[in-house]
Amino acid sequence: MRWSDEITLIGETAPDSAVNEHGFAITMDGERTKVFANKKSVGFNEFFKAKMAGYTEEMKFDVFTDEYAGQPLAEHNGKRYRVLRTYVDPKTGGEYTELTLSDLSEKGGGHG
């Protein structure tokens, strides 16, 4: 594995009283953590299943399990994604977690 890619993992926090102009609660970015990652390809079968569910699987990354704390969002090359699925790889003794990312603009995934 090369670990030459960098992604930013983003947590979410919901402030007590912040609302938008329509009266809905605003979810703001929480802590941002830059981590090294290994970019992987999305297989055809996974891509097809995601499309059937209304999502577009954009990319997958392996990150070190100790560095991933359940953040729901990620950024890569200036584009924001929702973490669609996580998988801790038992073949690595749990050292790596695979993150499957989806474009935030899909299926009401907007943020902010």
Q: Which helix (H) or strand (E) holds 73?
A: strand 73-76
Q: How far apart are CA 23 and CA 38, in angstroms?
A: 40
Instruction: Tell me the pTM.
Output: 0.73
pLDDT single digits (tens) 10-60: 997 766 666 778 877 776 778 899 999 999 887 656 665 666 666 665 789
Range 69-82 average pLDDT: 92
For the domain spanning 5-16+24-33+40-103, the CATH number is: 2.40.10
Q: How far apart are CA 34 and CA 55, in angstroms?
A: 25
DSSP state of 52: H
Query: pLDDT exceeding 70 applies to what percent of the chain?
Result: 71
